[in-house]
Amino acid sequence: MTPGSGSGPMKDCEYSQISTHSSSSPMESPHKKKKPAPKRKWEVFPGRNKFFCNGRIMMARQTGVFYLTLVLILVTSGLFFAFDCPYLSENITPAIPAIGGILFFFVMGTLLRTSFSDPGVLPRATPDEAADLERQIDIANGSSSGGYRPPPRTKEVIINGQTVKLKYCFTCKIFRPPRASHCSLCDNCVERFDHHCPWVGNCVGKRNYRFFYMFILSLSFLTVFIFAFVITHVILRSQQTGFLNALKDSPASVLEAVVCFFSVWSIVGLSGFHTYLISSNQTTNEDIKGSWSNKRGKENYNPYSYGNIFTNCCAALCGPLSPSLIDRRGFIQPDTPQLAGPSNGITMYGATQSQSNMCDQDQCIQSTKFVLQAAATPLLQSEPSITSEELPLPGKTTISGPCATLTLGQPTPPSSMPNLTSDSGLTDMIPLKEEHEGHQFLTPEEAPSPPGMLPSGSPIIHSHTMHVLSLASQDSLHEDSVRGLVKLSSV
Amino acid sequence: MATEVHSLQELRRSASLATKVFVQRDYSDGTTCQFQTKFPPELESRIERQLFEETVKTLNSFYAEAEKIGGSSYLEGCLACATAYFIFLCMETHYEKVLKKISKYIQEQNEKIYAPRGLLLTDPLERGMRVIEISIYEDRCSSGSSSSGSSSSSSGGGGGGAGGR
């Protein structure tokens, strides 16, 4: 830029002289540091949600049915205001379109509020928290070496005299608070989870339940209102001009009547159901599962209910509105670590299918990983007896050995090892299968870095067992690994 | 144990993060936001039991105040409902006001009590109201104590696991 000149002040003078003739950009560019634009937290949100307006609006991924809801409401109300209201306001009273208008705005306001707001999503645990929880689970479990006992994935709390089980969420790495549930469609844990409503395009949870209830209540009033006044309109017209002529004069009324007739049953029914839920302070989830019903036992009662209907209603509808916990529009701080992927720290907890039936996909992921770990782990523990006894597995050792050394640069506790090797080892397993003859010579040299992983005696065993390894076991090995790959890719 | 007084900024610059302690939620009262007052054993040598319990109890009382269902919250709720919830665009809810008070209180506690002892409280709001995270700092210049020794293995294990991915 500037011609070579020794002294500092001279350089500056020359530089400023140049800048007066040319545009200002050359002067700014050395001062302007090119920083990547700071990202907002919604851009890296781990759940399956869609965000609009720079994080202000939050919806589920599938929004097709929501647009259908919008279209139905807008078209029906639009037709009502355009075709029925002029006649009704002239012949009966102009209060009809006014009340209709108020109802319509209330319906739209509550619908948009329900659809666009955060239902009460619980942010996933930070890596430190998840590690601390697992440590506590380890302590509660007793010794963690070698055993694949299912860890206690539930905690029991006593709330108002009733025993409530808190389940551990594998995706979010937290013990879910009472009444929270993991929505598989949105892949989030939601507080006071009611249900996932496709009509609204969002989950219904603690933060938007009152909007949802107001929406369906006002929509049922609007539907009944429109239906009633469309019928009135047709009847009044048919008194003057006959029924068929009346229908011909206002064909829109027919469409409105049909839509309203079919909607009324479902919407009024839903309002009634949710009124019952609110008055007994239950969620749809709890009601469907019968968590607090008397059928489970005489001692079973709802510990969250306040005792009387009025208080329950007031608490649900007029209680304090808690703020969003996910801070969608906040900027990511460079020093805070972002949440790790689901495989970090899973170790041996992918085990059993027993208790939690919430996260189906997570169970699939965990069980697949467990299969891989179970296959890979016995080899990596320093027990030479295993390698000689189990024939099909030693074939894997030579393959996963170099993988182990490649993926880890530093010694790590054995429990976290199998996870990493199985993840990387699986993808490497098939292409490396043809090359395992060569690898058995590599392993003694590369083995020393992870301590206790491949005992010094094992390479000798491997070279023997490699020849012993039959074609059949190799095929089954290949099949298993392919099956595992297919499972992983499908999930 | 060194009992030097550090300011918050000095703490961050001169000390290194040794370990973190998490105070979990107490659900025995239902879904209201309360934290366990049980004293974590890792803080045994760092802070007096009374001070810690007082902090947690004060926080619990703040959260109870925020979630209180009573006259004023009903009024706010009914007013919001009557305006189709548009009033939330201009007005701050009672809960948000209390949360601001809480963050001020935590900052104050950090400056007066926790930072001089090499500890740092994180606002539970930043952790999804799940935990109160207490970061324990060790002086870089001090000789390795037993807690830093055990913490380095755990943080090393966690770091190794993350690094290997």
Any domain includes B154: no
Structure token pair of residue A484: 């595992």
Q: Which of A169, A186, A197, A260 is catalytic?
A: A197
Q: What pLDDT score was predicted for residue B10?
A: 60
- A 309-328: CB under 8 A from B: 311, 314-315, 317-323, 325-326
Counted residue by residue, chain B has a size of 165
Q: Which of B131, B135, B152 to mutate to test the interface with A (most CBs of A within 10 A)?
A: B131
Report chain A residues whose CB lies below 8 A from the CB of B69: 311, 314-315, 319-320
Average pLDDT value over all residues in chain B: 78
Question: What is the phi/psi pair of residue B16, to 5°?
Answer: -115, 145
Whether A19 has a pLDDT exceeding 60, the answer reads no
Q: Does A416 touch chain B (CB under 8 A)?
A: yes
Of A457 and B93, the one with more pLDDT: B93
How close, in Å, is residue A231 to chain B by CA atoms? 29
Whether A476 has a pLDDT exceeding 60, the answer reads no
Range with the largest mean pLDDT of A16-25, A88-97, B71-80: A88-97
- Among A404-418, B40-54, B76-90, the minimum mean pLDDT is found in A404-418
Q: What pLDDT score was predicted for residue A194?
A: 93
Model confidence, pTM:
0.66
Look-up of token digits 């008070």? B101
Any domain includes B155: no
Q: Does A105 touch chain B (CB under 8 A)?
A: yes
In which band, very low, low, confident or very high, does the pLDDT at A405 lie, cut at 50, 70 and 90? very low
Cβ–Cβ gap A325/B125 under 8 Å: yes
Q: What is the DSSP letter of A337?
A: P
Q: What pLDDT score was predicted for residue B115?
A: 87
Any domain includes B152: no
Structure token pair of residue A456: 């010094």
Query: Across residues A456-485, what is the average pLDDT?
Result: 48
Q: What pLDDT score was predicted for residue A268?
A: 94
In whole angstroms, give the CA distance from residue B23 to residue A146: 30
Report chain B residues whose CB lies below 8 A from the CB of A105: 84
Report chain B residues whose CB lies below 8 A from the CB of A125: 130
Cβ–Cβ gap B162/A410 under 8 Å: no
Secondary structure (DSSP) of A133-176: HHHHHHHHH---SS--PPP--EEEEEETTEEEEEEEETTTTEEP
Cβ–Cβ gap A174/B130 under 8 Å: yes
In whole angstroms, give the CA distance from residue A221 to residue A268: 8
Any domain includes B158: no
Burial class for A89, CB neighbours closer than 10 Å (0-12, 13-18, 19+): middle
Residue of B nearest to A315 (CA): B69
Answer whether B115's CB lies under 8 Å from B14's CB: no
Q: What pLDDT score was predicted for residue A80?
A: 93
Cβ–Cβ gap A326/B93 under 8 Å: no
Look-up of token digits 């005792």? A307
Task: Give the contacts of A95 (CB within 8 A, at least 6 positions apart).
Answer: none
Q: What pLDDT score was predicted for residue A155?
A: 84
Q: Does A379 touch chain B (CB under 8 A)?
A: no
In whole angstroms, give the CA distance from residue A403 to residue A422: 9
Q: What pLDDT score was predicted for residue A359?
A: 46
In which band, very low, low, confident or very high, does the pLDDT at A345 lie, cut at 50, 70 and 90? very low
Q: What pLDDT score was predicted for residue A363?
A: 53
Instruction: Identify the CA nearest to A421 among candidates A473, A376, A388, A456.
Output: A376
Q: What pLDDT score was predicted for residue B54?
A: 92
Whether A61 has a pLDDT exceeding 50, the answer reads yes
Residue of A nearest to B26 (CA): A157
In whole angstroms, give the CA distance from residue A315 to residue A206: 11
Cβ–Cβ gap B96/A323 under 8 Å: yes
In whole angstroms, give the CA distance from residue A176 to residue A189: 8
Cβ–Cβ gap A122/B131 under 8 Å: no
Of A292 and B36, the one with more pLDDT: B36
Q: In this complex, which of B67, B85, B165 lies closest to A344 when CB atoms are compared?
A: B165
Any domain includes B162: no
How close, in Å, is residue B2 to chain A by CA atoms? 26
Answer whether A198's CB lies under 8 Å from A140's CB: no
Answer whether A103's CB lies under 8 Å from A318's CB: no
Any domain includes B52: yes
Whether A422 has a pLDDT exceeding 50, the answer reads no
In whole angstroms, give the CA distance from residue A342 to residue A130: 11
Reduced 3-state DSSP string for chain B: CCCCCCCHHHHHHHEEEEEEEEEEECCCCCCCCCECCCCCHHHCCCCCHHHHHHHHHHHHHHHHHHCCCCHHHHHHHHHHHHCCCHHHHCCCCHHHHHHHHHHHHHHHHHHHHHHHHCEEEECHHHHCCCEEEEEEEEECCCCCCHHHHHHHHHHHHHHHHHHHC
Q: Does A343 touch chain B (CB under 8 A)?
A: yes
Query: Across residues A394-410, what is the average pLDDT?
Result: 41
In which band, very low, low, confident or very high, does the pLDDT at A5 lie, cut at 50, 70 and 90? very low
Instruction: Identify the CA nearest to A232 among candidates A218, A250, A219, A216.
Output: A250
In which band, very low, low, confident or very high, does the pLDDT at A351 lie, cut at 50, 70 and 90? very low
Whether A110 has a pLDDT exceeding 80, the answer reads yes
Task: Give the contacts of A135 (CB within 8 A, at least 6 positions apart).
Answer: B154
Structure token pair of residue A353: 């299918």
Whether A8 has a pLDDT exceeding 60, the answer reads no
How close, in Å, is residue B136 to chain A by CA atoms? 13
Cβ–Cβ gap A214/B81 under 8 Å: yes
Whether B145 has a pLDDT exceeding 70, the answer reads no
Report chain A residues whose CB lies below 8 A from the CB of B125: 323, 325
In whole angstroms, give the CA distance from residue A275 to residue A272: 5
- Helices then strands, each counted (H, E), chain A: 18, 10
User: What range does the domain containing B51 cover?
Assistant: 10-139
Look-up of token digits 């302070």? A281
Query: Over the stretch A292-342, which tens digit does the pLDDT of each residue have?
Result: 877 777 778 888 888 888 888 888 888 888 888 888 888 887 765 545 444
Of A449 and A283, the one with more pLDDT: A283
Query: Across residues A149-170, what is the average pLDDT?
Result: 81
Reduced 3-state DSSP string for A85-144: HHHHHHHCCCHHHHHHHHHHHHHHHHHHHHHHCCCCEECCCCHHHHHHHHHHHHHHHCCC
Give the total number of structural domains in chain B. Answer: 1
> Looking at this predicted complex, what is its ipTM?
0.76
Counted residue by residue, chain A has a size of 491
Structure token pair of residue B53: 């319990």
Query: Across residues A193-201, what is the average pLDDT?
Result: 93
Q: In this complex, which of A131, A179, A311 lies closest to B31 when CB atoms are compared?
A: A179
Cβ–Cβ gap A304/B30 under 8 Å: yes
Cβ–Cβ gap A321/B93 under 8 Å: yes
Answer whether A219's CB lies under 8 Å from A269's CB: no
Average pLDDT value over all residues in chain A: 71
Cβ–Cβ gap B30/A129 under 8 Å: no
Share of chain A above pLDDT 90, in %: 27
Answer whether B68's CB lies under 8 Å from A318's CB: no
Answer whether A428's CB lies under 8 Å from A403's CB: yes
For residue B136, list its beta bridge partners: B19, B119
Answer whether A416's CB lies under 8 Å from A347's CB: yes
- Among A23-37, A81-95, A354-368, the minimum mean pLDDT is found in A354-368
Any domain includes B157: no
| A186 in catalytic set | no
- Among A127-136, A341-350, A466-475, B65-74, the minimum mean pLDDT is found in A341-350
Any domain includes B35: yes
